[in-house]
Amino acid sequence: CCCCGEAAVGGDGGAAWGLYLRIDRQRLQCLNERREGSGALVFRAWEERGDRAQFVESDDDEELLFNIPFTGNVKLKGVIVMGEDDGTHPAEMRLFKNIPHMSFDDTAREPDQMFSLNRDLTGELEYPTKIARFSNVSYLSIHFPKNFGAETTKIFYIGLKGEWTEAHRHEVTICNYEASANPADHKLEQITPQTHFIS
């Protein structure tokens, strides 16, 4: 069983890559980013993928880890990763689903899917996911463990393609039923009539 995916050229336009609108940006994390908050900038509209002023670069080594919470349930169908035409481009991508707040220690586990990446400067290479495995995702973690030989990894754009549905909240209701009424629970205040005299 091979867990590597094949890259395909992304033919359908920006509408399919709209999952960036469904990311809970307040809770999104990027571990080992050099500049705080820069990891969130790579998730944007497909039409804006060519903006090379916005990027994330790793800090201590070549690893980057994104923890991406969604505002509902997602059926993830594909991923695009854009980088430079040099050694800073990520060479491998590992996807994990529904593991909130992953750390680098957690990446030792088996990923739900893994891809060997090609250098992509234009955002045209799509890596299709195993849809059956990614059909009910509320939390996605993307781990880039290595690049093409540079000390740091640089990413300009990550596109997420798929379908979003609103999450259904199942709240537990606790009810207490009385077999017979307890009179102590139903005491009424004694009403004392007051008389007003008009003189």
Enclosing domain of residue 101: 28-165
- Among 51-60, 110-119, 167-176, name the one with the lowest average pLDDT: 167-176
Give the model's pLDDT for residue 15. 76
**Number of domains, the chain:** 1
Show the tokens assigned to 47.
Answer: 């039409």
Using the 8-state DSSP alphabet, how is residue 23 labeled? B
- 39 lies in a domain? yes
Top-confidence residue, 196 or 78 = 78
- 191 lies in a domain? no
Percent share of the chain, pLDDT over 70: 77
Q: Around 75, how many Cα atoms within 13 Å sit in the side-chain half-sphere? A: 6
Query: The domain spanning residue 85 has which CATH number?
Result: 2.60.120.470
Give the model's pLDDT for residue 167. 77
- 73 lies in a domain? yes
Cβ-contact 155, 42 below 8 angstroms: yes
Using the 8-state DSSP alphabet, how is residue 149 labeled? S
- 190 lies in a domain? no
Residue 51 has pLDDT above 50, yes or no: yes
* pTM for the structure as a whole: 0.79
Structure confidence by residue, pLDDT tens digits, 125-170 = 999 999 999 999 999 999 999 999 999 999 999 999 999 998 766 5
